[in-house]
Amino acid sequence: MISLRFGCPVRCEEEDTMTCLVPILLAEDNDDDVSLMRRAFERARILNPLVVVSDGEQAIAYLKGEGIYKNRAEYPLPNLLLLDIRMPKKDGFEVLRWVRAGRCDPACRCGSAAMLRA
């Protein structure tokens, strides 16, 4: 099994390393593409939790810790962003520009991002 850790080192003080896995944030509005990504992660035996949001505004809210995402124990900052290029409300490029502009929580600035296109 693989635990992906991009960018920042992850401190794990828990005995159960499963509780220390850094989530991957997938911003994707197509359910078929989300299912395909989940299957790919399972086949690759990637253990990191995959958190899915369906548009760019939700991705930004998650990264800011706003609304339903304000509890960082339940919604920890991801260390990898997978952004669909074409989404409703805000597209992947707008989210990436927002992150690069430094508007994100300082703890998430050292992660990686990848743009996706179906």
Q: What are the domain boundaries of the chain?
A: 28-106
Structure confidence at residue 52 (pLDDT) = 96
What number does CATH give the domain 28-106?
3.40.50.2300
Instruction: Compute the average pLDDT of residues 42-69.
Output: 92
Per residue in 26-44, pLDDT tens? 999 999 999 999 999 999 9
Q: How confident is the model at residue 105 (pLDDT cuts 50, 70, 90)?
A: low
Any bridge partners for residue 51, and if so which?
25
Q: What are the Cα distances from residue 65, in Å, to 82, 88, 94?
A: 18, 20, 18
